[in-house]
Amino acid sequence: MGRAVAEAAVRAGLDLVPYTLCGATEVAANKAVEVAGKQLELVGPDTRDNLIEEVKQQYPNLVMVDYTLPDVIHDMANLYIKHKTPFVMGTTGGDRAKLAADVKAADLYAVIAPQMGKQVVAFQAMMEMMADTFPGAFSGYTLKVTESHQSSKKDTSGTAKAIVNSFQGLGLDFDVSQIELVRDREQQLGRMRVPEDALLGHAFHTYQLLSPDGSVSFEFQHNVCGRTIYAEGTVDAALFLARQVQQGASQKLYNMVDVLKAGAMR
């Protein structure tokens, strides 16, 4: 995702800072990576504090973008808080309530969302509105949720969790622990019909509802191949956040629905 966002930023004409944060293991293995013809230096935990302060002087409108791992999500947020650096975080996992509380307490500008794909976010917002407007509309129905992502994604999709929350508001008795995660290659190819060239980057979600007597069924589905939809949404979020910072907006913490409502789409 980091590479995809960097490439999208270059396409959008943004000034890509020539550094990328990573773990010590990655630093030991490589000295740089190339993105859209630009060399990016890998920066490990031992040197990133000093570097961030230097970069802030050189790039006064700096916005950090975070796509790391669920188990370091709070460490990364604390890093941005420590350096008072506005950031966009698309990383899923962690304690989301704590994450939001920490950022609010720091009075730091940020866009935090488990889903950065603009159209998927619009679908998610539509489901939330449906739950608010028609509470209990699907009471008695049963729900089956299946989500397939690349095998490197270990946690449950944040988008699937959010959609399930909306279905709960619509009257369905279903817990996020019941979401089926498909990470097996053969099941992805055969059962989920994921194209082979998308196995390393995809998001196929299916939400199936069945009435108590089995006579009525509904199915919601969104299938995404590749990472472009998320990368472009992330760049839009970064541009939106930069404008909020420049305008001195009173609200500091945002999600992708805020970005959509502002019409902040390229």
Give the pairing type, strands 87-89 and 110-112. parallel
The pLDDT of residue 266: 57
Which one is catalytic: 38, 74, 153, 154? 153
Is the pLDDT at 264 greater than 80? The verdict is no
| Stated pTM of the model | 0.81
Q: Hey, is 261 helix, strand or coil?
A: helix
**What tokens appear for 116 in the block?**
């950065």
User: From CA 193, how far away is CA 204, in angstroms rounded?
Assistant: 9
pLDDT bracket for residue 140 (50, 70, 90) = very high
Q: Hey, is 207 helix, strand or coil?
A: strand
Count: domains in the chain: 2
Q: What is the mean pLDDT of residues 217-233?
A: 94
Is the pLDDT at 92 greater than 90? The verdict is no
The pLDDT of residue 5: 94
How many angstroms separate the first and last alpha carbons of the chain?
19
Residue 266 is assigned to a structural domain of this protein: no
* Residue 18, domain extent: 2-116+229-261
Q: What angle do CA 84, 23, 115 make, to 5 degrees?
A: 65
Q: Hey, is 260 helix, strand or coil?
A: helix
Residue with tokens 């350096």: 83
Query: Do 163 and 240 share a structural domain?
Result: no
Instruction: Identify whether the C-beta of residue 216 lies closer than 8 Å to the C-beta of residue 103.
Output: no
Query: Do 244 and 185 share a structural domain?
Result: no
Query: Do 37 and 167 share a structural domain?
Result: no
Query: Do 215 and 126 share a structural domain?
Result: yes
Q: Residue 149 catalytic?
A: yes
The pLDDT of residue 13: 93
Average pLDDT over all residues of the chain? 93
Minimum mean pLDDT among 16-30, 50-64, 100-114: which range?
16-30
SS3 content of the chain, % helix, strand, coil (to 5): 45, 20, 35
CA 25 centroid distance within chain: 24
In the sheet with 38-43, reading across from the earlier edge strand, the strands are 19-21, 38-43, 32-35
Query: Do 213 and 122 share a structural domain?
Result: yes
Q: Residue 202 catalytic?
A: no
Q: Domain containing 145 — which CATH number?
A: 3.30.360.10
Q: How far is CA 246 from CA 81, 144, 167, 239, 241, in A?
A: 18, 45, 38, 11, 9
Q: Domain containing 245 — which CATH number?
A: 3.40.50.720
> Other CB atoms closer than 10 Å to residue 145's CB: what's the count?
23
The pLDDT of residue 1: 87
Which one is catalytic: 118, 149, 161, 202? 149
> To the nearest 10°, the Cα dihedral for 42, 149, 65, 27?
-10
